[in-house]
Structure formats: structure tokens, C-alpha cells
Structure 1
């Protein structure tokens, strides 16, 4: 796993995604202050906030695993972990620390585009998560507002709205929940098109990972290294055999010389 710098990791694509989601989370939590707890929209926003918190935890744990100094990372980011605890919406305002930290780095950095270009896969993953969150948040909230007051509608609760938006994004279309109003159908068309594009991005990402030229180069380099190692091993074995032959030759010459002397003595001996 690629390690990241203790400071510049704030500007990687996942952290930039967390910045945008932090604004969304704060907007959702602020809206909950003015919405009665008995309202269906309140339950919907709590579910959306929990979903965003899960994305926060994924981003924080990924950066923690990739950090060169995990203890130092925890010292600087413990408010982010606390702010990402689901259900307790009041803790979400601690995300302001993360927002100011990243905004400060954005103002002082001139390498953001290069950073994104160098981490295209991570940028794609961050974009997919961000688009998915926006679609779920906006789609479920709007469909609930558009359909809940219609007597012929079958989307009446936050659970119905969330289930409908996930089914629509995935283009599965079970048919148990569907819009009946004109605006609801137009919203469904937009979400279907966005869902197709989203899965196209996922397919492109998987294809890029499978046919990665960098990975192919690494495999070729490993194969060449293995071949060179085999050649070196064979050469080493040949050198060892030559050394053994060099050691045996003087002994065989001495033995031959002694045999020759013995045969000469036997021949010259008086009979």
C-alpha cells in the first residue's frame, strides 16, 4: 500500500471528497435543528447523515493505514473520528476543524491538480462516492417531498424514499415503489441517467485496474529479474564445477606421475 506524507495527505482526492461531504453533513445536521423529530424528513436526514458518517470512517481509516506515522495522524485527527460517530448529530459540528484545515492547505498549495492527476484512481473512487452521496441525499429528499402528499403515491416514508433511490440508481427497478407525479418521474429519469453514468465509471475503474500498464511493467520486471537470477545461479554452478575440476587436475597429474614412476621402476628392475 502506498504511503502518504503526514501533511500533504490532506490534499489527496479522498480528503477533498471528505471536505465536500463535511459541508453536506453540516447542512443536514443544521436542518435537523429546525425539523420536528416526528417528521418523515427528519428520519430521512438521519439516515443520510449516518451514510455520510460511514464514508467518513472509510476515508479516515484508509488515510490512517497509509500514514507514515499513525500515532501522529491520530493526534491531529482525533476530532475527525469523534465527529464521524453516527446517530449523535451534535458531534458533526466538529467537522469544522477538518474544513478549516483543508481550506488552509487549499489556499497555500499550488499542486492540487497535479496531485489529482497523480492519483487518478483515488480521484475516481472519491468522485464515485461523492456522486453516490449527492444522488442519495438529493434524490431521496426530493422524491419524498414530491410524492408524499399525493394520495396515489406509494412513497410515504423515509425508508421508502431511500429504498427507491438506491433501486433507481442501480437501474434494477423492482417496481414496488415508483413515482406517480410528473416532477417525480422527471426526477427518476435524471437519477437513472446518473446511475448509468456512475456504473460506467465503476466499470472503467475496474477495467483500468485489470489492464494497468504499470502492473504489467512490474510483472515483466519480475519475470526478467527471475530469468537473470536463474542465469546467475547457473553461472555460479558452472564456476563451482570449474573450481572442482581445477582442484582435481593437479591430483590426477600427481597420481599419473607416480604411476609412471612406478611402472618405470618395475621395468628397470633386474630380473
Structure 2
């Protein structure tokens, strides 16, 4: 549905339509893009990084000159600019790495769809993997919390655990084989491999059984894969995804898990034989968790040996540090760090003020030059012997004298069924077709809407819409004379002129002059 058609809808339907657009925009993710689109995004970000690096190199030279000249104030200001640009470069680098990861994920997903035959089958495999992970984790927790299980039950758990681990290992190696970058896949999914090794089946003999029970805790790491699958399905949890992508937060979680396992193994090995309160796996893990999180205030068990006490002190100190880092990082992500944003806004405001000062200095001369050019073009258009020559002169002047990327004139046919192109300058991909039926495309919609209006009371203004091809703006100017629509002027302005008042008003003025000349030619 076009914008012109939407204007006639009832308010409730328009509200529903706007809500749907907002919902789609809010749920949009990079993974929704094609691989080609992602690569174009990456190229754009890489280009921005190169531009920032060039500005940094120039600022570094200026900084060195100010230092050599003995100008501390200017040097300090330049240093602030260098720090700001360095932060901007770091943000772009993070964005580039995110795009690299998404490109690899998109390629992996595409290859899996090709391998299995459809997206639905890939989703089914993901669902089976998710259920298998939850089953393995549930069995691990059940074995930990229920002591003295019968041998037959342990045997069943071992068989099911081994079968699921083999399946998960197969899933890991299949995805590794179809991934574009094997090193990237191993770096990002090594936890899936480690947590899928059937340790219990391998270490089930003799004294290795006790080690196997501890090692089986690595099954809990499979929850990271389960979380990724859930976040892929439920788009509303994207904020949580970004939260755990923060490097400092990720390291804090990994360190906490490693510290938890180390503390449980160490206290059980040191004093588990003397005190049964920490003799089991569950009790030693609970002691380790309480010591890390509460700083030892849980008072579950007081070590009696010097080594045990030293271990407890180390666990408390490291736990306080890790907990503090985790809390601060999580708060920063969820609440948001406004300092960088305020600094960026301030710098943007200062740049715009400088741009305004520069434009004010040039405005008088630029306006005078534009008025002179406008008068010359209007006179040239009025002196043309035919409509074709008039249109050629108009579009040629717009592209050569007024910096338009593309310009074309379309004339309304006698039967008022469409518009015929009289002249065109600029890339063909930016121009409307030679024949435009009424109601089709930006030009056709505008013409159809104008024909329905009372032109005697209508305030004629150009219609605009973004031009994605040049990151600029498309503009359609009505050519009206004697209260009749004669045609339309279509132009494309570059990004740097799309918001310039002078360059957005001149085409409408020229369109009016052209319409008057065209009407006069028709009367002769």
C-alpha cells in the first residue's frame, strides 16, 4: 500500500499499520539480512574505519606540531579529539567484528539449509538439539542431587548420556564441516565440543569415576548453546544477547565458573575425607558457590587446615572481585552509559555550530550566485522553440549548474493516462521509466494525486522520498500552469544537498518557469 493510499484509511487502520511497522523495525536483526547485504554493510563500516584512521593520522600530526610550538591549550584540545576519534574507531571495530560473526552465522545457516533441504528441517534439528541439551543437564543435576543411586539407574543414565553426547558431537562436526571459517567456528563453539565429550563413559573405571563426576559438570556449559537457540527464536531477548556479548562480562562469567569448579574440587580433595559436610559433589559445589557470592558469610563450613583456610581466603577475595565486575558490567549494559553518548552529542553539536558558521560566511555569495544562475536558466528555458528543447535545457542545467545527480521531465499525455519522458540526464537506474502509468511509482502516484486535487487552491510543494541508491533524496516538482497539470520534474539530490534549503527550493521555481513556457507554447 502506498503512502497516498494510506492517507484515506481510517485512523484505527492507520494506527494498526504504524504499530506493525514499529514492531517489525524493533524486531529486526542483522541475521535477517542476506549474506550479500551483510558484506556490503561490512564494506561500509570498513570504509568508515579508514576515514577515522585518516583523521587520526592527521590529528596526530597536528598534535605533534602544537607540542613542538609549545601551545598546551591547542595540544590538549587536539588530544581530546584524538581520544574521541579513538573511541569512535573502537566502536566501529566492534561493529565490524559483529558483522563478521553474523556473516559467518548467515553462511553457516545457508549451508545447513542447503544440506538439509529446507529452513524447517534446520529448525527441527535445532529443536532436537535443544531438547537433548536439556535432557543431559537434567540428568546431571538429578545425579548430583540424589545420592546413592542404584547401579541400574546409573547405567541407564550413562547409556542415554553417551548416546546424546555422540549425537551432539556429530552436530558439532557437521556444522564445523559446512562453516566457511573453521577457525572462527572452533573459537566460538569450543564449549559445545568440550561439553559433549562422554567423560562418564570414558572415565567410569576405578578411581576415575570420582573425576568423571566432577568433569560431568561441564555438561552445564551446554546451557550456553541452549540459550543461543532460544535467543535465535525469541527476538524479544536480543537485549540479553547483547548483554552477554560484552567482553568484560563474558570473562567475569567464565572466571566465576572456573573458580566455582576449582573451589569445589580443591576443598573436596583437601578436607572432604575429614568432614562429610563437603564430601559429596553437591555439598562442595554449594560451599564454593556460597564462598564466592557471599564472601564467606554463609558459614557452611570452616576449613581446619592451613591450606584450606588459604584456599578460602583466596576464594573470598577473587569472588568479591569477580562479583563486582559482573555487577558493574551488567548494570552498565542494562542502565546504559550516558557519558559517552553525551560526549558524542556535544561534539556533534560543536561540529554543527562550526558548519553553521561556515555556511553563514558563504551564504551571501552562494545565494547571489544561485540567483544569477536561476535567472539565466529561466531565461534559457523560456526561449526554447519546443517542449523537447525546453526539457533538455532544464534537466541539463539542473545536473550541471545545481549539482543534481539525475534530472528528468515527464509530460502528461493528452488522455491523462500516463506520463511520457521528454528529457533525462544522469544515471538511467535513478530515472523513472520513459512511460509512467498514473498511480504507479513515485512519479505516477504524485501525478494521480495532483489530478484529484483542486489546483486553484492547492499550495504546490515538491514531494520527496529518500533515495537509497545515492543516500540522498528524490524530489518530484509539479509543473502546473493555468490550473492544469502539464507534467512533472523529477530530480535526485546528493546527500550533502538533500537538506539544503536553497537546493531544495530552486527546482520548484524552475519547474514553475518551465510550466509557464510549456503552456505558452501550447497556446501558440
TM-score when normalising by structure 2: 0.27
Richer in helix (by share): 1
Richer in strand (by share): 2
